[in-house]
Amino acid sequence: MMQSQAVALEAPPGAAQPTGTDVIIETRNLSKIYRDFWGRQKVRALKALDLEVRRGEIFGLLGPNGSGKTTTIKLLLGLLFPTSGQALVFGKDASDVTKNERIGYLPEESYLYRFLNAEETLDFYGRLFDMPPEVRRQRTADLIHLVKLDWAKRRQLKEYSKGMTRRIGLAQALINDPELIVLDEPTTGLDPIGCREMKDLILELRDRGKTVLMCSHLLADVQDVCDRIAILHQGELKELGRVDSLLKIRDVTEIRASGLSDAAKEEIKSVIARHSGQLVSMDNPTSTLEELFLSIVQDSEARPGRRARVEQ
């Protein structure tokens, strides 16, 4: 889906390289209570959230539906006002619109004006950043190319499929070459190839020094790209840390080797037994469905017309 575009994704001149220590997002005791018309409490969506997202990392907010992920993002973007506590982005209060100069936001459903076409959409959002016309035109062309929508750039968004809408949504989020990219369920509506490309792009953005905050309930996506995650449940922070250390099973050892004979395998089993270890499994690993799908599509693109091999 996405092509690597140096122009479109370049870090702004003078932008800090990832140091891992600059705090981009900070929440202090952030709470949100939804109330009804009469001011009565309806839902306590977020309870005293303390969080820090550092420059250059991909931070994932995880949790089931209604856990407070989207509320947190809305509070950080100033779409909601906190009931108590504070949300700071680039050291500024979330209600300060000047912070938005450095933010790109892809909402859950790509809420865009369906009567505009791709070019008009990007041009419109470019204007909101007070961009000069020539810069706007250049970035519009680059981003449309990046999200591979050149062929549909003059079509109104109402004619777009869900995947295409996500792509143009992503392009609008990148129009200002933001330092912080907030992605709400970024892979929703994308096919497996689109998902893979979205994940690759997120990683590429990180490599270019951008900070990414994403929320998703697709755990595999989060696991694939996030450096750190926070797990929310019923508005409370339940877990926070690096993905690799959180997922590491410390008392299980995994050895992967190829070309072993049956005798060698038996010998390994005996070694484990000798050291009082417990063999959990010794099997041929399986690939993921995503990997299988991607390899088939790549193969099909390389050799068009080849029939599928049917296995009963």
Write out the residues near other proteins by the rule CB under 8 A: 34, 74, 77-81, 97-98, 100-101, 103, 105, 107, 109, 111-113, 115-116, 120, 124-125, 127-130, 172, 176
Rounded to whole angstroms, the Cα distance separating 304 from 265 reads: 41
Nearer to other proteins, 129 or 293 (CB): 129
Taking the CA atoms of 172, 217, 221 and 31 in sequence, report the sign of the dihedral they define.
positive
Nearer to other proteins, 34 or 265 (CB): 34
Q: How far is the CB of 88 from other proteins (least distance, A)?
A: 16
Nearer to other proteins, 67 or 176 (CB): 176
Nearer to other proteins, 116 or 203 (CB): 116
Q: How far is the CB of 69 from other proteins (least distance, A)?
A: 13
* DSSP line for the chain: -----HHHHPPPTTPPPP-S-SEEEEEEEEEEEEE-TTS-EEEEEEEEEEEEEETT-EEEEE-STTSSHHHHHHHHHTSS--SEEEEEETTEETT-GGGGGGEEEE-TT----TTSBHHHHHHHHHHHTT--HHHHHHHHHHHHHHTT-GGGTTSBGGGS-HHHHHHHHHHHHTTT--SEEEEESTTTT--HHHHHHHHHHHHHHHHTT-EEEEEES-HHHHHHH-SEEEEEETTEEEEEEEHHHHH--TT------SS--HHHHHHHHHHHHHTT------------HHHHHHHHHHHHHHSTTPPPPP--
Nearer to other proteins, 130 or 254 (CB): 130
Q: How far is the CB of 7 from other proteins (least distance, A)?
A: 21
Nearer to other proteins, 81 or 150 (CB): 81
Q: How far is the CB of 74 from other proteins (least distance, A)?
A: 5
Q: How far is the CB of 105 from other proteins (least distance, A)?
A: 4
Q: How far is the CB of 100 from other proteins (least distance, A)?
A: 4
Rg (CA), the chain: 23
Nearer to other proteins, 103 or 214 (CB): 103
Q: How far is the CB of 136 from other proteins (least distance, A)?
A: 10
